[in-house]
Amino acid sequence: MQTLVIVSHPYPEQSVAIKSLQQIAEQTADVTVRHLETLYQNDLARFDIAAEQKAHEAADRIVYLFPIHWFNLTPMLKAYLNQVWSYGWSFGPNGTALKDKEMQVVVTAGANALTYSEQGLIRSSMDEVLTPMKASAYYVGMKYNQPLAFYGAVGASPETLATFQAAFAERL
């Protein structure tokens, strides 16, 4: 199975958990990694849409790896999806490029798991926070896999990061 991993982090120089997960993806056979901020330097107008669509077309599974950013996607990833998942390519007339591919969302959160629960501060689960990704996957005919969420990523110990990496490697 060919896997494409799209990585986004709004502050890549501060990224520890996402970088550690990206390293696992880069070491895995049949995985292509594209880090948006590295490729496009936070310039939302620079996306090479043809290249990004071609990368998606070559994959059986697409992993979106990002930190939860104010209970949402990163700004770069949102802009990327808006442009790359275009009408006529991913949906609409003749738009079936993503149909039957798997979507795997992998996120990190600085807060603990309790924060992402009905009893927690935001009174919403991680699944609820990720509803736009789930809806988007189904809208374009993708199979939506259960998300993989890593909590307490800010200041995570090397042991915790190793646990994150092992779980991600198993999912890949």
Can you tell me the distance from the alpha carbon of 163 to that of 152, in angstroms, rounded to the nearest whole number? 12
pTM of the predicted structure, to 2 decimals: 0.95
Residue 128 above 90 pLDDT? Answer: yes
Print burial letters for 157-170: b (CB count within 10 Å at least 16), e (below 16).
Answer: eeebbeebbeebee
Residue 142 above 90 pLDDT? Answer: yes
Q: What is the residue extent of each domain of the chain?
A: 3-171
- Please give the pLDDT value at position 60: 98
- Please give the pLDDT value at position 44: 87
Angle at 125 between CA 123 and CA 130, to 5 degrees: 125
In this structure, are residues 131 and 125 in contact, taking their beta carbons and an 8 Å threshold?
no
Question: Topology of domain 3-171, per CATH?
Answer: Rossmann fold (3.40.50)
Binning pLDDT at 50, 70 and 90, where does residue 13 land? confident
